[in-house]
């Protein structure tokens, strides 16, 4: 009887692993299949897009859809989103690091309440569509609608709470003795922050940067409402332009979607390892 119990437990663990692998495979298939289908569709000649039965295989590769997309204003729209997202990322991480350091190292009235407000703003920023009307009225009063500065400002406001939360969790894991040692060596608060604290927060800085960039890059609602001029249009709104009242241009639509996806894929492939490390630091403390 004692010999059979470990065997049963081992079989149960093995079955659990198999079930977990199968579930992960199903989830991966559900998420990857539409992307693969979009890539293959973007490479098909127009006459093969609606062939039946459908197939992932492409008999005759073509780049005409990409040429059509890039010959228009789409390249400028990608450049716009790169500028908007990069600006919002740099400013959000910088301000987020300063705010996180202040919340973690200084004691001032309503410190916990203010940080609670910031944390509460994280889900609100993820559902930023509810903020479109008040933001529209506010920026209309300022005369900033349909200008190149409005979207970076909105992206900064939407994603700054996440950056503060991640970076504060990282700074809570840094002993205050390091600040005291730097002070004894004659370092000012600013020098301690720049030369001691920030280098120790590199994984969390990278994680915050990735989250802010992805959040800014993928934003659609504000970009479609606040900007009307094609010269200032972000990439996600430009992708939607290939869906019109006369139907969907599936070739250019999938080609533009693939081009819009590439920066995110590159970012995750090369810097995705920082996401887990940065988020774990922000989730354990915070």
Residues of the chain with confidence (pLDDT) below 50: 1-2, 282-286
The pLDDT value recorded for residue 12 is 79
Same domain, 30 and 159: no
Same domain, 54 and 15: yes
3-state secondary structure of 227: coil
Same domain, 139 and 87: yes
Question: Residue 275, exposed/middle/buried by CB under 10 A (0-12, 13-18, 19+)?
Answer: middle
Same domain, 178 and 219: yes
Q: Residue 136 is part of which domain span? A: 65-284
Instruction: Give, in order, the Cα–Cα distances in Å from 203 to each of 32, 91, 215, 280.
Output: 27, 17, 18, 10
What's the CATH number where 187 sits? 1.10.3720.10
The pLDDT value recorded for residue 96 is 94
Same domain, 143 and 169: yes
Q: Which structure tokens are listed for 255?
A: 């080609």
Same domain, 255 and 214: yes
Long-range own/partner contacts, residues 112-118 (CB < 8 A, 24 or more apart): 115/164, 115/168, 118/161, 118/164, 118/165
Same domain, 57 and 80: no
Same domain, 267 and 278: yes
pLDDT tens digit sequence for 112-137:
899 988 888 888 766 667 788 888 99
Same domain, 15 and 91: no
CB atoms within 10 A of CB 219: 24
Same domain, 17 and 70: no
Which residues on neighbouring strands pair with residue 243, listed in sequence order? 248
Distance, CA of 271 to CA of 259 (rounded, Å): 19
pLDDT tens digit sequence for 246-285:
567 788 888 899 999 989 888 888 877 777 665 665 444 4
């Amino acid at each position: 009887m004692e010999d059979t119990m470990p065997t049963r437990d081992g079989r149960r663990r093995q079955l659990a692993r198999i079930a977990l692998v199968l579930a992960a495979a199903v989830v991966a298939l559900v998420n990857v299949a539409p992307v693969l289908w979009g890539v293959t569709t973007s490479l098909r000649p127009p006459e093969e897009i609606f062939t039946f039965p459908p197939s992932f295989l492409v008999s005759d590769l073509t780049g005409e859809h990409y040429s059509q997309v890039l010959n228009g204003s789409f390249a400028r729209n990608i450049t716009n989103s790169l500028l908007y997202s990069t600006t919002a990322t740099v400013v959000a991480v910088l301000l987020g690091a300063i705010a996180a350091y202040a919340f973690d190292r200084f004691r001032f009235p309503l410190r916990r309440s203010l940080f609670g407000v910031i944390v509460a703003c994280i889900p609100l920023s993820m559902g930023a569509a509810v903020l479109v009307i008040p933001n529209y009225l506010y920026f209309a009063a300022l005369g900033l609608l349909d200008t190149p500065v409005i979207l970076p400002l909105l992206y900064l406001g939407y994603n700054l709470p996440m950056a503060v939360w991640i970076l504060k969790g990282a700074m809570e894991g840094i002993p205050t003795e390091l600040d005291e040692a730097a002070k004894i060596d004659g370092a000012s608060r600013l020098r301690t922050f720049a030369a001691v604290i920030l280098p120790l927060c590199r994984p969390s800085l990278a994680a915050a940067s990735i989250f802010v960039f992805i959040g800014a890059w993928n934003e659609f609602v504000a970009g479609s409402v606040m900007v009307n001029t094609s010269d200032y249009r972000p990439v996600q709104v430009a992708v939607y332009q290939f869906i019109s009242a006369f139907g969907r241009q599936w070739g250019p639509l999938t080609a533009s979607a693939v081009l819009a996806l590439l920066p995110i894929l590159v970012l995750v492939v090369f810097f995705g390892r920082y996401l887990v490390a940065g988020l774990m630091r922000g989730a354990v403390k915070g």
